[in-house]
Structure 1
């Protein structure tokens, strides 16, 4: 019959039967560090009819633009936000997601500022007793190396009498300085002291001073140090003041005396004595020439005595000349002689002034040839001395008649540097007006100063000649060989003690292989006192010798000790056991850390080896060294267990292999499939592959960095392999060391106790406190990511807490 009339429905939109969820609760920040924090929130009150599949977190600088934090939705109600900047304020909000879409944003969190976690400060460094007596003790220390993230507000000092409890010294206020005087000690009592720092969190660890102190007076014998202004010699002019200052260190204060010769000074009108320990001073007003001389400062106490001598020089005009007389007269000359003044006025005589006159003439004139070329004339002479202080009084002769006198020839003597003696090689010929000295068959030892002296009744005259005898140089000194490598070395020496009387022109260096003992010249024209010797043969033993050469010839050789041409560097040490990641049925990725010891040379590459678990022979994976510390190993047999090890290489060669990695089976990871069933319409398949995630590897470089009598501080490095997910924290564990009987071995998992019980540890350092110094402890550290806890790294040896004074390296 046909088709009937159509009936239309109301419009319908194709959409889910679910709604987006409500917004999550207000996020709250916790576990804040300098670059990260943990954000927590509550589930939405309304899930829109569909389970919450994840959460999206956004952050911003306060009042800034929102930035998404996590690339993939977070399944938990907590998330560790990384990559923050210290002291910046951040705000956060959270979105929930279900099958219908995203919710609205949560309420904005309170501003959070990343900062270093604040803890109590570490112990003060190197406390010690600087001084003490029967009633007090002076303590000093250095501020802690760790302030706990908050400034140190002050310090607390405690003392303990023998057999008693510790008592707090500063009960009211904190000590602001790194020094303190403990008063009120009982004489003869033994005390121990300890110090601890305080910040806003509370009191830190104490550090005890190792030495105990018995309250008694310290007895120190006197020590005298003269002030630099008068240490060598103090010089003043006549009429000025003499001021001598010295520093005396002694306990108890000594008795001070000043003396000059046999006389002891006391306080009077001219002399002032001041004792203001450690400074002592003597002051003499208006000095005279009689005040010059050596002054002695003496300090005496019950422990001993000390003295110091100060030389004081008072400058004045010199005294008059002594013994002025006429020594001889000729027809055209005469000689006037005198002795130096008894008192030179405290400084050298610079010159003498000689004047003459005829008795009939009133005026005096300086000596000139005019008054010495006339015979049978009568003269008078006078002399005065001069120094920096002025001129002395005149001294004059009586009348002198100039006439000719017969003179005897002088007596002549030759001396070498004040030594005399018969020498068959010496001949001396002296005439009326000459003297000749002849030395035959000269030697190098004949070099020196030769003095000739002529003496007659009028006086004496001395002259000298410096004689140098040339010869070949002596042997070089202090010969050393350094910088030894496979093909070269450096030979160094000092110039010869005797250069032969002339400059050394060059050096001749020779070498010799000890197995052949044939010398060959390496260089005959070395002008420096060192030489870089090349073209050596690796493994051969060599001896070197050096000779100095001047214009007279070549000196005797000096030989070195035997050396072997070889490198001074070593092969690198073994790396830590490698970690295996990204495991498949026919491939694996292996990663490793560099060795702690590189042998003195940079690492140039690595060789990776593998073997099946039950096999004996290791097979290289790489034909040549690779520079990366990660490698993808392919062509594996499915379901076979493999182990890997690594060798490091430097310029010297290939080092020892690392320990094998743990056995790993080559197989694909398990795929987890989750079915989410729609209760109203249909079911959907939603699967997630978690094959690339696993727990992280063990931390590296675990070591002790600080220790006291009650605490130990550990540090470590991040694991080489993080398991494919960021490291979110660390677990520190310890146990007492137990001595097992016979060949028994302790269960590796027995007796471990968690140390960081206060919360998640996100930094790579931790301090264990309240330890017993008589007990040895074992420690281990594990890293954790989102998958779980990784394998632990064990401290190599058991340790016990003990004091560390100064800087030590573990």
Structure 2
């Protein structure tokens, strides 16, 4: 038996930066940060770092810098006297890694002055009046009061999570959540800023009272950073940044409907409720139909649709409600009249072989065929990082596997598959394979053999001998079956079957000369063998009938053979 080592490379987000996050206080408003790159880069180069901070009195982290390539950074605009904690995370193409936090420190000058007397404690959000009294050697004068009440408040916390909901060739649509705390005063608006990649200056785009904004006039093919600040009567919060830059390009996607089943049953008199989720870019319009006609809403039949879900409720269901209901979704920006109905997904797409010019793929049929037989598949590829999706097959593909040839050695590709049914409806694309580098993918041959064939096996004369083994290796190995060191051949009673994953040796009507040592050998760059000894019994002799007459003498001699 041969032992074969297997090297496994796990691709993931990077680990935390190595060592400590060092903070050097320069002044009450500035400090310098220093850190080391992560020991584990997750299998991909760390492209930049993300810096965040928070005051120890608060639980929310705010962005300081979403994209810094150096391992040091100068932080400014700190609030003197506040206690801060910073954290750093590396970013590679697989995502944001683990954060490394600093020790808490107070923003203050290296030198200090005597502390001020304690001040009255004011409750945030409350109104206060103040007055001043003059004092001399004869006593205290009359007070002078503030004419209006003063509200105790401060600038709000940064907005919550920022979401990129749509990107076109010249615009991006952003939405965000409210700040966790408004600073004791009502939020009056939000400021959206942007920064083109490679530039140092943040540009104010616009202000909005709503929690969303479409940023127009962007340049196609460029990357932009975005951040949002909240504003109240006391001022402006620290900005909240979108963690990753936005590439301005057309990202339209066909509508996709997620429905677990297409058959529903309900007893007469009961209510029926069907919820359907969907997605598409731009957001699609939902239409319900019954038996091909637009569904009419009544006091019993109601439809409620949001930007991502549609719900139909039929109250007190009766026999007249039986029928085929359709929910269709149309994207207004694609070809007029093109309707996309129930989606079909090809599943479990996998890479079975890689060479320096080709990639072999396989997948499973969709669990749901959209109500019509699956008639073919379209395989698409995309050269990473920025290419568009291209077809790999230009004729109808009936098989659930394909070898994509003509690829460029050393380049990275992504693959996906689309199913088509007899109704000429195309599915949404499957999940992609992830980045695949086109190069010789060498894997030593491996044999998985049942334990019963690793010892002496007894086969009766005249019976069928079959030895099965699972095999693997890249490139696909060549299969050899040997008997006592010589090729078994495939003539007469001997048959050999082999695929890329399995091989079998069949010997029909075994005879004693078939006994011996059988060796299975796989060969590409490394050979692996497994030996099997086969013992064949002699055929049982025929029974003989003996006739004995009365008074005759019969002598029987018995030979006993141990088992």
Q: Fold-level match, TM-score > 0.5?
A: no
Scaled by the length of structure 2, the TM-score of the pair is 0.31
Q: Which of 1 and 2 has greater Rg?
A: 1
Higher relative contact order (CA 8 A, sep 6+): 2
